Amino acid sequence: MSELETIIGIDLGTTNSLAATVLEHGPEALRPPGAEAIMPSVLSRSGQGWLVGAAAREERTRSPETTVYSVKRLMGRDAEYLADEIARLHYRVEPAMRGLVRVRIGEETFTPQELSAELLREIKRRSEEALGHPVAKAVITVPAYFDDSQRQATRDAGRIAGLDVVRIINEPTAAAIAYGLDQKKSGLVAVYDLGGGTFDISLLSLSGKVFKVLSTHGDTHLGGDDFDRLLAEELRQRVLAEHPGAELDSPLAAALLLKTAELLKIDLSRALETGYELDLPGQGLRASGRMTREELNELIAPLVERTLDSARQALKAAGKSAEEVQDVVMVGGSSRVPLVREEVERFFGRRPNISINPDEVVAVGAAIQGHLLAGGRRDFLLLDVIPLSLGLETLGGTFSKLIMGNTTLPAQAGELFTTHVDNQTGVDVNIYQGEREFVKDCRSLGRFRLKGLPPMPAGLPRINVSFEVDANGILTVSAREERSGTEASIEVIPSHGLTGEEIDRIMEDSYEHAMDDLNERQMVEFRNMADAVFRGIEKAWEDAERMLSSEATGMIRQQMDKVRQVAQGSDPLALKREMDLLGRMTQPLADAIISKAALTELRKFYEDTGSGPESG
C-alpha cells in the first residue's frame, strides 16, 4: 500500500466474517496465505482456549454444547427478547445483570461482546498475516436496523479485540460504496441485504457525487439461518415418519439436522433436485431421501415475503414506488437463493444487480470507507440515516421522539425539562428507541441520572437535555441547567451493555491470559494436524511394510505413540518437535509413494501411446 495508515474494513457477520482493505491496485478481500477470505463466525471452546473459524465449525456436530455460533443475534439484546432464539440454540445462554445475557460453557460464562471479540481478534490476526504488518484500526459494519445498544456492543467487542473502531457503518451503505454507485449521475437505488441472521433494505438517492440514504427498514431476526431451521424441521419430520423411535432432541442430533439442512439449501440453489443422508451416531440409524427446489421454495416463501414487506415499508417511508427504483443491488450470501432473486425481480420489475461477490461486497465497502478516513482520495459524500426514532419517556409512559427515524446522520436535538419537587437535585431520564407511541412498545436504551442540579422551587429549573447521534449512529446525551448555567453530570447506566470497568477487566484478562490462550490454540491446531498425519500413515501402511524395513516401521509406530502421549499435555512446542521428528521418519515412505505413483502414470502413458523408454 502507500504511506497511508491501514484501516481495514470488517464485515462481522452472523454466519461468516471477513476483512478487506484498499491496496495500490484497488480494494480487495484479505486472504491469509493458503486460506479463504471468508471465515465462519463460529467459536469452539477447547480447554482454556478458543478454536475459531472453519475448525470450530467442524466441532459443531462433534461438540455442539461447547461450540458457539450466531453470536451476532445476541449482541445488545436481553434474555426476554431472545427467549425464542435461546430455545433453538445448541449451547446454553443465561440471563445476567442489567438485561445482559451470558453464554455458558462448562464452568465458564462469556458475554456476546467477549465472543464477538474473539472473532474480531482472529480476523485481525488473519489480516495481519495477509498484509505482513500490524493492524490497529478498523471500520466495522452492522445491519442498518441495529439500534444504539447493538452498535455500542459491536464497538465494545472491537475494543476488547484490540482494535480502534474508527467508524461503525451500515452494511447496505457499505455495499453501495463497494458497487461504486457514486459513479452514477443520479437515480434511486435499493440495496437488498439478506445475510445469515439479519435482513436490511435501504433506499439511496444518487445525485452526482452525493448519495443519501432516504430510508431503511429490516429485521435483525431474519436470514439464511432461518431458512436452515425450516429445512431442518422438515428433515426432522421426515426422519420421524420413517423411524418413529428416533431421538432427535439432543444437541448432537439437532446440530446434524441443521448441518444437513444447510448443505441441502446450498445444493438446491444450484440444482432442481438433490439427495441427502443422515447418520445418527449412537442410534445405528441412517435416513436418506430426495428434496426438490420447489419443496424448498414452499418452505421459505413466507420468510422471503417478509423481506418484501420491509421493502414496502422502506418505499413508503421514502415516498417512492418500486417502479421508480433504477437499480437493485443484492448483498449477503442468502441472496444467492433462487427464490429470493426471483421474488426481488418480480417485486421491483427489474433484474437485480449481482455483479460483485455478495459475500465480500460489505467488507470491501467498509475498506473503502476506511481508506477514505485514512486520507485516501475518494471523491464522494456519504449521507447515512438513523434507523429508528430516539426519544424520552414522558408523562403516562408515552414516547416523546426527539430525533426521528430516517434522519440523516449526524443528528442533534434537545428538549427542555423541569422538576416537580422543591429542591430536587437530580432527575431520572429514561431513553428509548422505536416508532410506537408508548415506551412499553419501544426499546429501552438506558436510564440517565442527571445529578448536581442546584436546589430550586419546583418548575423553576430549565434542564436542557441534548441528544447527539454521531456518524457511527451512536448516541450520546448531555445536560445543562439553563438558569444557573451549571453543567449537570450524567451517569449512564447501560440497559444492555458493558460498563467501562467491565470492558477494562475483560481486556486485562485477555492480556494476562494471552500466552495461555495462544498455547491452547496451538495445541488444538497441532492435535488436529497430528490426527490428519496419522490417517495418512494408516492409509499408506501396507506400502510402508512393503517398502521399509521392519525396524523402520517399528520406529514409526513408536514415534506415533510418542506424539499421542505428548498431545495429551499442554506444551505445543514439544508436540511440534515430536511431529517434526515423525515427519522426518516418514519422509522416505512419502518419497517412495510419490515415486510409485509417478511410475504408475508413466507406465499408463506408455501403454496408451504404444511408446516406451527404448523408443525414439
Give the span between the Cα atoms of 204 and 32, in whole angstroms: 34
- State mean pLDDT over 432-438: 75
pLDDT for position 82: 83
Q: Are 376 and 7 in contact (CB under 8 A)?
A: no
DSSP-assigned letters across all residues of 516-553: HHHHHHHHHHHHHHHHHHHHHHHHTHHHHHHHS-HHHH
- Long-range contacts for 479-487 (Cβ within 8 Å, ≥24 apart)? 479/429, 479/448, 479/450, 481/453, 481/454, 482/416, 483/456, 484/454, 486/452, 486/453, 486/454, 487/452
User: Which residues, in sequence order, are CB contacts of 585 under 8 Å at separation 6+?
Assistant: 552, 555, 556, 559
Asked whether the predicted pLDDT for residue 158 surpasses 90, the reply is yes
User: Which residues, in sequence order, are CB contacts of 100 under 8 Å at separation 6+?
Assistant: 78, 111, 496, 497, 498
Considering only CA atoms, which of 455, 457, 454, 453 is closest in space to residue 488?
453
Count of Cβ atoms closer than 10 Å to residue 231 Cβ: 25
* Cβ burial, residue 551 (10 Å; 0-12/13-18/19+): exposed
CA distances from 172 to 169, 177, 276 (A): 9, 9, 35
Considering only CA atoms, which of 493, 476, 474, 499 is closest in space to residue 147?
474
pLDDT bracket for residue 602 (50, 70, 90) = low
- Residues designated as active site: 11, 72, 171, 193
**Lowest-confidence pick of 202-206, 303-307, 410-414, 597-601:** 597-601
Q: List the domains of the chain with CATH numbers.
A: 1-179+357-382 (3.30.420.40), 182-355 (3.30.420.40), 390-497 (2.60.34.10), 513-609 (1.20.1270.10)
- Grid look-up 476483512 returns 19
pLDDT for position 308: 95
Give the span between the Cα atoms of 102 and 87, in whole angstroms: 14
Asked whether the predicted pLDDT for residue 189 surpasses 70, the reply is yes
pLDDT for position 1: 40
pLDDT for position 504: 58
Count of Cβ atoms closer than 10 Å to residue 363 Cβ: 35
In eight-state DSSP terms, residue 59 is G
For 219-243, what is each residue's pLDDT tens digit? 878 888 899 999 999 999 998 888 8
- Grid look-up 495418512 returns 536
CA distances from 144 to 215, 404, 475, 537 (A): 10, 15, 15, 51
- State mean pLDDT over 317-327: 91
pLDDT for position 128: 93
- State mean pLDDT over 511-526: 65
pLDDT for position 478: 75
Considering only CA atoms, which of 227, 220, 189, 176 is closest in space to residue 433?
220
Q: Specify the higher pLDDT residue, 373 or 605.
A: 373
Helix (H, G, I), strand (E, B) or coil at 155: helix
Asked whether the predicted pLDDT for residue 101 surpasses 80, the reply is yes
Asked whether the predicted pLDDT for residue 300 surpasses 90, the reply is yes
Give the span between the Cα atoms of 329 and 171, in whole angstroms: 12
- State mean pLDDT over 569-597: 78
- State mean pLDDT over 480-495: 61
pLDDT for position 116: 95
pLDDT bracket for residue 2 (50, 70, 90) = very low
- State mean pLDDT over 420-437: 77
Residue 494: enclosing H or E segment and its boundaries? strand 487-494
Q: What angle do CA 13, 14, 15 make, to 5 degrees?
A: 95
Asked whether the predicted pLDDT for residue 185 surpasses 70, the reply is no
Residue-averaged pLDDT of the chain: 81
Asked whether the predicted pLDDT for residue 139 surpasses 70, the reply is yes
Asked whether the predicted pLDDT for residue 452 surpasses 80, the reply is no
pLDDT for position 488: 53
Q: Which residues pair with 327 in a beta bridge?
A: 189
The number of helix segments (H) and strand segments (E) in the chain equals 15, 27
Give the span between the Cα atoms of 79 and 454, in whole angstroms: 39
Give the span between the Cα atoms of 557 and 265, in whole angstroms: 44
Q: Omega of the bond prior to 410 within 30 degrees of 0, cis?
A: yes
Give the span between the Cα atoms of 466 and 81, in whole angstroms: 29
pLDDT bracket for residue 309 (50, 70, 90) = very high
**Lowest-confidence pick of 10-14, 183-187, 372-376:** 183-187
**Lowest-confidence pick of 377-381, 460-464, 565-569:** 377-381
Phi, psi of 134, deg, nearest 5: -65, 155
pLDDT bracket for residue 616 (50, 70, 90) = very low
Give the span between the Cα atoms of 471 and 372, in whole angstroms: 14
pTM of the model: 0.68
**What percentage of the chain carries pLDDT values higher than 90?**
24
pLDDT for position 460: 80
- State mean pLDDT over 188-199: 88
- State mean pLDDT over 588-614: 59
